[in-house]
Structures are given as structure tokens and as C-alpha cells.
Chain A
Amino acid sequence: MSVLNPPRSAGTRNASGRKGTGRSFSAWANRHRKWLFAAPAMVFVGVLIVFPLAWTLYLSLTDSQGSVRAATDFIGLKNYLTVLTDMERFWPAVGRTLAFTGVALAFEVVLGMGIALLLWRPFRGEKWVRVAILLPLVATPVAVGMMWRLIFDPNIGFANQLLGAIGIPPQPWLSGQDTALGTTIFMDVWQWTPMVVLILLAGLTSLSDEPDEAARVDGANAFQRFFYITLPLMMPTVIVAILLRGIDALKTFDILYATKGKGGGSFHEVETLNVYAYGLSFDYNQYGLSSAVLILFFMIIIGIMWLLTMRKKAVSK
């Protein structure tokens, strides 16, 4: 081997200087490939994230508003004080954000687990069910919002026609002050339960059959086997599903804006933190104030994620 292919470095380095630098560059690249590969993406994300986050933090301490070119003054923590004492918009928005996320997640996880269990063992027509599960997931959220807007229209909507057929009086759905948030939660459940199904199904299929089998031999019925064997084994996957879905549910924007428009409707009935912050920034140009809202929002998200990750660690042990 070494006779047929003598090490090339000795010859080429002497033959031409250019080749020598080329080789040493490739050697250098190979030695440092770890950072050579990772750095471009990290610089890109860093510039697009770290810098904007730092700027948001800075803006939250100024009275910036009106135009992006306007002069601003440093006002310390005044924005935070304004936001934290705001009982009309901020705190209700916090409540709606948590309610939306909590209720939607509860439905999605329970329904998702039920559907995943139905799909667990092979059956005929499996392909069709999988297609049905995929379609809501990939549908454009804004279009989905418009679609539900027609279905939930109080006068011509299919939802009230359906209720009428079984003798229930028409409901205001999206246009009602009390019903709007619940209706948007329903839309979120329609679109994202499939996501939870897919994650839980992947978890179920990777489970070992043995504990279930042993419990069956011992005479446990289906419910006992689910609650004492399958569910505890699935807890880490359930928490992953809650984490992944929860992050996105907290930040829901598209269907809320598509169905209720600016400010979450005329009474802010679906105004979550994200919709509120968006409105402050781009409808009212209150950049300083909105930055304070965003920093607080970000802290809420990190806090919830941290709690869930701790829980996951406890469950995995």
C-alpha cells in the first residue's frame, strides 16, 4: 500500500507552493471542521436572535414610539411599571394566553392519546386515516382561520345549521364576547391534535410489548393496562408533546388575527400576549411599551418550559 501510494505531501509541497497552501488549508479545515461547520449557522442565528433580543431589552427601557427614526429617551423601568399595573389589557391578555394554551393543550393531549391508541395496532384503511391526520397539520393557518370564520358565521355558518338540525338554538361563536375565545380554542384543537397524535403514536410504537403482555397474562383488563403500564411508560413522550405544542400554543397568532383581526376583536376578546404585543408594535407603534411586554412574555415562556423540563427529568428517572 505505502509503496504503491507514497504519501503525497513530501512531493507536492516541494513541487509547487500553491498546492502546498491548498493542502495545508484543507488540513487546517479538517482539523477545525467542528467550528467551520457549526459557525455559519450559529453566527446567522446569533445575529438574528441575540442582537434583536438585546435591542428589545434596550427598547423596553426607552420611551420609543411613533416612528422607527424618532429620537428616544432612556426611562428606566417605567414601561415595566406601566405594563405590570395595566389591568385592562396586559393582565387579561396574560390570562387569555394561559387559558388558551392550557385548555387547548388539555383537549389536544387527551384526544391525541385517544386517537393514537385507536391507531396503535395495524388495521385496514390505515393509510386513509393517516392522510386525514396530515391534512389539518399542513393547512395554512390563516386559510384555516378563514374557513372556520365561514363555518361559525352566526347566520349562514354550517355550525349553526348543524345545531338547528338537532334542535339547539344558534350560537354567536366568534362574534360573541364570551364564546370567541372558546371557538378559537376549538380551531386550535382541530388543527394541532394531529400533531400530538403523531408524536404519541411514535412513542407508542417504540414501546416494548413485554410489560403489557405480562400484565395481560396476570389478568389486567384494558383500562388497568393503560393506566398502570402504558401511560406511565408514555409520560416522557407526553411531556415532549406538551413542550413542543405548548411553546407554539403560547405564541398563537395566525388564527386569532385571521378570525378576529386587530386587537383580538373590538372587545379584545381573543387578545393574547402575542396579539397584544403585535398590536402595540405595529398597529400603535408603541415600541418601548411593546418591548417590555415582550420581555415579560419571553420570561413567562422560559419559566413554563423550565418547569416542564424539570418535570420531564423527574418522570424519566
Chain B
Amino acid sequence: MTVVTDSTTPAAAKPAPRRRKPLATRAYKVFRVVALIVVVLFLLAPLFWMLLASLKTNVDIYDTAKAVVFSPTFENYANVLQRNNYFVFIFNSFWVAFVSTALSIVLGVPAAYAMSRFTMHRSALVVLMARVIPGVSLLVPWYYVFSNLRMVGSFEVLILSHMFVALPLIVYIMMSYFDSLPLELEESAEVDGLTPIGAFRRITLPLSVAGIATAGILSFIFSWNNFMFALVLSGAKTKTLPVAIFDFVSYASIDWGGLMAAATVVTIPIMIIALFTQKYIVSGLTAGATKG
């Protein structure tokens, strides 16, 4: 009896933490490992190459013998950050992304809530249309209006244009988040004497922190990466990083080291944020995608 239990217990316990279907053959397992290594290399190698080039002198970049083995230098970064004033552009990018995200959350979260609770699908469609329209078709009229108001190049206009990217994104993500939140919680709060708005403020909002974080992080990333709106609507003092990179190219296109350092400076902050908030980003990007 004891012998039987001794031998069965570990065997029975083992399959549970493992996968439910251990049927993959050994050949498939080997294939899968090789395939995944190829995928990871394909996705990471270019970024690694950019990082390497940013640490090389231009002489070393042209020397194919020094592709991987070279003496690293931070000269390019010093050049980009000091001489080209990148700290200002970093601040601009951060400020525009932060304010446009914050304002979009204030406008978008209640709207998404109402649209989800009262199934306002047609109204939601109006907001989501913003995802479909090519940005240029909005830029022309905006440019008309704001240059007549002499406001092109101001932070206000830049933030407004980035909110246009952020708000539909936030409404989209938050709608699918509120859809998945049980209605009963609010109803019982209303039975206990809270007004509907009170129930939203004191029950639903605190429960939605994860969803709002998801929406906020994604909107920040999209705003940080946005190029076209800033290209037209930013001025010398409000230039954001993606536009600043481009300037770097147009007058010094041969300075590959500096260019790669500039590209790395733009990319690193957003990647660090992404690494720490992985699960939010993934849930945000796939929000509503699997529903019929």
C-alpha cells in the first residue's frame, strides 16, 4: 500500500504543473527551440547592431573587420546630448506625451464607461473613426487654422494633435475593459445608497486602475513615437525626439555614429518603460481583438 502511494504521488503530481498535453514529439521540441532562437535573433539583432554602432567611431563603422570587436566610445552620446541639445528634445517628447495622455484619460475614461454601460455603439464608432482616417487629411485643416492663429509650434497645438491619437486608443481599450467588469458591483453599491455617479467614482474607478494604466502606458508610447504630427506642428523650441533625429540626418547624413546614438536615445526610454510594464502593454494591444 505504502509502496503504491509512494510511487504514484510524484507521478500524479507531476503532470499538473506541466502542460496539459505533453504529446509534443522530441523532433518537434528540437524544431521549436531552433525556430524560437531564429525568431529572437531576427527581432533583437538589428537593435543590438544599432547599439553597437552608436558606441563606435565613424572610422570603426566603416571598418568591416571591427564589426563586433572594437573599443567602445561614448563620444557619439556626448555629441548628441550636449552639442545637439537633446535634453531639450527629451523633455519636449516627455511633456507632450505626458500631458496628452493625462488629458485623454480625463476625457476618455468616462466616455468609454458611458459607451460600454449604455452600449452606445454608434457614438463609439465616431470616436474610433479617428483610428481609420489618414493623419494627413487632418493635418492640412489643422495647419490652416493654427497657422492663421499663429499657434503652430506651440505646445498646446502639439498636445492637441497627440490627444487625437491617444483619445481613441484610450476609449477603445477602456471600453473592452469596462465590458468585462461585472455590473452587479455598481448595482449593489447603488442599493446601498450611492448615486450612479458616486458608484462610478468610488467603486468602478478604483477597480479600473489596471485598465487605465494599460491605456495610459500605450497612449504614452504612441505619443512618444509619433512623427508626422510633430513634423508639421512642432517649432524649433517644441521639437520632439523623432523629429529631432530627422534633423540630425538632413545635415549630417554621413555621421552614422551620431545618428545611431540619437536613434538609441529615442528608443531606450520607451523600451525600459515597456520592459517594466510588459503585461499591461500586451493586454492593451490585444484588447477587444479576440471578441467576435
Q: Which residue of A lies closest to B160 (CB)?
A: A48
> In the complex the two chains form, is A151's CB within 8 Å of B286's CB?
no
Of the listed stretches A9-17, A38-46, A171-179, chain B binds A38-46
> In the complex the two chains form, is A132's CB within 8 Å of B259's CB?
no
Taking a contact as CB atoms closer than 8 A, the residue among B130, B249, B264, B290 that contacts A45 in the complex is B130
Taking a contact as CB atoms closer than 8 A, the residue among A33, A53, A236 that contacts B197 in the complex is A33
Of the listed stretches A78-86, A87-95, A139-147, chain B binds A139-147
Taking a contact as CB atoms closer than 8 A, the residue among A45, A140, A298 that contacts B225 in the complex is A140
A45 CA to B165 CA, complexed, in Å: 10
Q: For the complex, is A163 an interface residue (Cβ under 8 Å from B)?
A: no
> In the complex the two chains form, is B32's CB within 8 Å of A123's CB?
yes
> In the complex the two chains form, is B271's CB within 8 Å of A139's CB?
yes
Given contacts A132-B44, A290-B136, contact A26 B197 (CB under 8 A): yes
Most chain B CB within 10 A, of A147, A237, A240, A244, is at A147
Chain A residues contacting B117 (CB-CB under 8 Å) are 34
A236 CA to B291 CA, complexed, in Å: 9
Q: Which residue of A lies closest to B113 (CB)?
A: A37
Q: For the complex, is A135 an interface residue (Cβ under 8 Å from B)?
A: yes
> In the complex the two chains form, is B137's CB within 8 Å of A53's CB?
yes
Given contacts A133-B43, A198-B286, A281-B139, contact A42 B266 (CB under 8 A): no
Taking a contact as CB atoms closer than 8 A, the residue among B49, B132, B143 that contacts A68 in the complex is B143
Q: For the complex, is B21 an interface residue (Cβ under 8 Å from A)?
A: yes
Chain B residues contacting A250 (CB-CB under 8 Å) are 134
A161 CA to B58 CA, complexed, in Å: 17
Chain B residues contacting A46 (CB-CB under 8 Å) are 126
A24 CA to B278 CA, complexed, in Å: 45
Interface 1/0s, chain B 237-276, versus A by CB < 8 A? 0000110011001000000100110111011001101110
> In the complex the two chains form, is A161's CB within 8 Å of B285's CB?
no
Q: For the complex, is B12 an interface residue (Cβ under 8 Å from A)?
A: no
Taking a contact as CB atoms closer than 8 A, the residue among B50, B111, B138 that contacts A42 in the complex is B111
> In the complex the two chains form, is B290's CB within 8 Å of A37's CB?
no
Q: For the complex, is A169 an interface residue (Cβ under 8 Å from B)?
A: no
> In the complex the two chains form, is B224's CB within 8 Å of A140's CB?
yes
> In the complex the two chains form, is A41's CB within 8 Å of B135's CB?
no
Q: Which of B13-44 contact A (CB under 8 A)?
A: 19-21, 23-24, 28, 32, 35-36, 39-40, 42-44
> In the complex the two chains form, is A136's CB within 8 Å of B138's CB?
no
> In the complex the two chains form, is A156's CB within 8 Å of B62's CB?
yes
Taking a contact as CB atoms closer than 8 A, the residue among B39, B227, B263 that contacts A254 in the complex is B227
Q: For the complex, is B80 an interface residue (Cβ under 8 Å from A)?
A: no
- B253 smallest CB distance to A (angstroms): 9
Interface 1/0s, chain B 124-145, versus A by CB < 8 A? 0011011111111111111110
Chain B residues contacting A147 (CB-CB under 8 Å) are 46-47, 49-50, 260, 263
> In the complex the two chains form, is A146's CB within 8 Å of B35's CB?
no
Interface 1/0s, chain B 94-135, versus A by CB < 8 A? 000000000000011011011101101001001101111111
Given contacts A38-B120, A147-B263, A277-B137, contact A33 B281 (CB under 8 A): no
Say whether chain B's binding surface is mostly helix, strand, loop, or mixed: helix
Q: For the complex, is A101 an interface residue (Cβ under 8 Å from B)?
A: no
Instruction: Give the interface size class of chain B.
Output: 35 or more
Q: For the complex, is B196 an interface residue (Cβ under 8 Å from A)?
A: yes
Given contacts A44-B107, A203-B290, contact A136 B43 (CB under 8 A): yes
> In the complex the two chains form, is B163's CB within 8 Å of A44's CB?
yes
> In the complex the two chains form, is A195's CB within 8 Å of B285's CB?
yes
Taking a contact as CB atoms closer than 8 A, the residue among A129, A148, A253, A287 that contacts B36 in the complex is A129
Q: Which of A178-222 contact B (CB under 8 A)?
A: 190, 194-195, 198-199, 201-203, 206, 209, 216, 222
> In the complex the two chains form, is B142's CB within 8 Å of A52's CB?
yes
Interface 1/0s, chain B 277-290, versus A by CB < 8 A? 01001100110011
Taking a contact as CB atoms closer than 8 A, the residue among A55, A209, A251 that contacts B141 in the complex is A55
Please, how many residues of chain A have a CB less than 8 angstroms from a CB on the other chain? 99
- A182 smallest CB distance to B (angstroms): 17
> In the complex the two chains form, is A140's CB within 8 Å of B47's CB?
no
Interface 1/0s, chain A 276-317, versus B by CB < 8 A? 011001100001001100110110011001000000000010
> In the complex the two chains form, is A44's CB within 8 Å of B142's CB?
no
Q: For the complex, is B232 an interface residue (Cβ under 8 Å from A)?
A: yes
Interface 1/0s, chain B 36-75, versus A by CB < 8 A? 1001101110110110010000000110100100000000
A interface residues with partner B (beta carbon < 8 Å): 5, 26, 29-30, 33-38, 40-42, 44-46, 48-49, 51-53, 55-56, 59, 68-69, 114-115, 118-119, 121-123, 125, 128-143, 146-148, 150-151, 156, 158, 161, 190, 194-195, 198-199, 201-203, 206, 209, 216, 222, 236-237, 240-241, 244, 247, 250-251, 253-254, 257-258, 273-274, 277-278, 281-282, 287, 290-291, 294-295, 297-298, 301-302, 305, 316
Q: What are 15 pairs between A and B in contact, CB < 8 Å?
A: A35-B114, A36-B114, A38-B120, A51-B141, A56-B137, A114-B35, A119-B36, A134-B282, A135-B43, A136-B43, A139-B270, A140-B241, A150-B61, A161-B67, A273-B134
Q: A45-B164, A128-B40, A251-B135 are known contacts; what are 13 more A-B pairs with Cβ within 8 Å? A: A26-B197, A29-B197, A42-B111, A49-B164, A69-B148, A135-B271, A138-B270, A138-B273, A143-B263, A161-B64, A194-B43, A198-B286, A281-B136
